[in-house]
Amino acid sequence: MQFLPHDSACRATQYFAFRSAALELWGEFGWREVEENLPDDTRATLFTKPPAPIDWVLERHMMSLSEAVFAGPAGRREEVYRHFVATMIDCGFGRIRRFLVQFAPPELLLERAPDLWRHDHTHGELRVKLADKRATVELHDHVHTTTSLSRLTAAEAFRCALSSTRAREVKVEHELVSDALEIRLRWS
């Protein structure tokens, strides 16, 4: 399937991880609050006939879900939203790849990150530079670079995924550099 840049998409497993995390943290009431805060086209796409796990979901719908979680059950509190992202990673990436990464050195996960990205996203280029217990991850040509919340979501997702390896005390910083999202990770 050919996607135009505005049709950037991700695997529907990410939608299910979002849903599972919201239900785990806030129950059905919280998930309904998320649904009520969505734009009409996103609500119609994701709630009228939910996607199958093997489907693709437009990234703009996932970004709308993030905004609805942040404005709704997270109450615009960044710390609460970060906890949601950690739960979402555990419900998605963590469940799917837990056995593979829990004993892996962090460098192995980071080296594989560009391939994992290409498997789960139709657009964007991920570049990783490794140093001693540090890494810089750059995301180019992707819609996640366009809003502060999507940049925070991506950075926190990388921190949480790296925390599932043997890395300890993973710290993250991120910023927009030119048109790329630069995520700096360090660990002990």
Q: Within this chain, do residues 68 and 125 fall inside the same structural domain, yes or no? A: no
**Residue numbers of the domain that contains 25:** 5-95
Residue at a domain's end among 95, 120, 152: 95
Average pLDDT over residues 139-152: 96
Average pLDDT over residues 93-114: 78
Average pLDDT over residues 122-127: 96
Res. 99 pLDDT band, cuts 50 70 90: low
| Long-range contacts formed by 63-68: CB under 8 A, 24+ apart | 63/143, 63/144, 63/147, 63/149, 63/150, 64/38, 64/39, 65/15, 65/18, 65/34, 65/38, 66/18, 66/149, 66/150, 66/153, 67/37, 67/149, 68/33, 68/34, 68/35, 68/37, 68/38
- State how many domains the chain has: 2
Average pLDDT over residues 92-118: 81
Average pLDDT over residues 74-89: 97
- pTM of whole model > 0.75? yes
Q: Within this chain, do residues 145 and 166 fall inside the same structural domain, yes or no? A: yes
pLDDT for res 143: 94
Q: Within this chain, do residues 124 and 142 fall inside the same structural domain, yes or no? A: yes
Question: Which CATH number is 137's domain given?
Answer: 3.30.1380.20
CA angle 162, 106, 16 (to 5 degrees): 35
Q: Within this chain, do residues 110 and 134 fall inside the same structural domain, yes or no? A: yes
Residue at a domain's end among 95, 125, 153: 95
Q: Within this chain, do residues 133 and 171 fall inside the same structural domain, yes or no? A: yes
Res. 94 pLDDT band, cuts 50 70 90: low
Average pLDDT over residues 51-69: 96
